[in-house]
Amino acid sequence: MNCEFCGGKTEKKKVKRQHWLHGKLYIVENVEAEVCSECGERYFHAKILDGIDSLLESTHKIKERLEVEVVSL
Ligand SMILES: [Zn+2]
């Protein structure tokens, strides 16, 4: 597909995504996305996002836990 912002070509890649669900933040690795080769914008199919939701809502393996800093500008 072409990027909505810059018109550049996107390519399929596996990326790491910050994903919010029910007020909790998750880092999900190995997520399929279309990534713009020009500006780096990432596009996720709704089907992939629904898949993440259902994985997180069911019993799943936790690879690692991170402590996250919240800051303000
Ligand atoms: Zn772009």
Task: Give the Å distance between the CA of 64 and the centre of ligand 1.
Answer: 32
Predicted confidence at residue 57, as pLDDT, reads: 98
Burial group, residue 62, by CB count within 10 angstroms (0-12, 13-18, 19+): exposed
Alpha helix stretches (DSSP H) within the chain:
46-57
Where b means 16+ CB within 10 Å and e means fewer, 10-34 reads beeeeeebebeeeeeeeebeebebb
What does the alpha-carbon distance between residue 38 and residue 52 come to, in Å, rounded to a whole number? Answer: 27
Task: Give the Å distance between the CA of 71 and the centre of ligand 1.
Answer: 28
Task: Give the Å distance between the CA of 70 and the centre of ligand 1.
Answer: 28
Task: Give the Å distance between the CA of 18 and the centre of ligand 1.
Answer: 20
Task: Give the Å distance between the CA of 29 and the centre of ligand 1.
Answer: 22
In a domain, 16, yes or no: yes
In a domain, 39, yes or no: yes
| pLDDT band at residue 73 using 50, 70 and 90 as cut-offs | very high
In a domain, 67, yes or no: no
In a domain, 21, yes or no: yes
Summarised one tens digit per residue, pLDDT across range 5-64 is 999 999 999 999 999 999 999 999 999 999 999 999 999 999 999 999 999 999 999 999
Predicted confidence at residue 47, as pLDDT, reads: 98
